[in-house]
Amino acid sequence: MSEPTAPPARPEQRRAGWFITGTDTEIGKTFVACTLLHALRRSGLSALAMKPVAAGFDEHGRNDDVERLLAASSVQAPRALVNPYGFAAAIAPHIAAAEEGRSIELPRIVASFEQLQALADVVLVEGVGGFCVPLGSTCDTADLAAALQLPLILVVGMRLGCINHALLTAQAIAARGLALAGWVANRIDPAMSRFAENRAALQARIAAPLLGVVEYGTTPEQAATLLQMPDRAR
């Protein structure tokens, strides 16, 4: 993948932020992002989240992930900045973009992020799918994280096979020279066998702190009291 060319924000403009990535799709990135937004609000900080790329919109032009992030944010921001790229079909974004005759441009996303930084103390950025999802022929979500220059929070969907997925993702983050601020164990499978042993295996192998365990069936407001916030970023 080619390196993005978007320039970094000037140091005096930088505020706190994290990039939320995951081991796969449908493993709770949006849930954890909303949980972190509630935790930040509880700590007295203004916070909002953006979903730069979203696929799957209803007949009213609404995407569930985007709507949940908007509702959990303490600052209301323009939808065009929160979600610069939205595609109708719920498919891989590079395929959706090609079918609609559009291209996903990283500089536009970086510019939207920098505008959002002026509105809140903390801006979270939720990726799409896993860490290396293609956004076009020359870039992917790893390039996006690098362009934004944000440390990452990894959401691990706790189910059979999660150890391999989590460790490969952590290795990919390190290979890109990016910082992993922490990871969250999200219990998407309440019947997972040997949960404690799997969690311990990940803690022993991921060189970043476990920020907390999200229990199945909790709300973001409830889970916000269970997560430890990573060190302030930027």
Running along the chain, 234 residues long, what does each successive block of 10 average in pLDDT? 42 70 96 97 95 96 97 96 97 97 98 97 97 96 96 97 98 97 97 97 98 96 92 57
3-state secondary structure 154-222: EEEECCCCHHHHHHHHHHHHHHCCCCEEEEEEECCCCCCCCHHHHHHHHHHHCCCCEEEEECCCCCHHH
Whether 148 contacts 19, CB under 8 Å: yes
- H-type alpha helices, 79-153: 79-82, 93-99, 106-117, 141-148
Tokens of residue 86, six digits: 């939205």
| pLDDT for residue 15 | 59
| pLDDT for residue 232 | 58
CATH class entry, domain 11-223: alpha beta
| pLDDT for residue 6 | 41
Task: Kindly list the domain boundaries of the chain, sorted by start residue.
Answer: 11-223
Catalytic residue, from 15, 51, 68, 165: name it: 51
Residue 51 bears catalytic tag: yes
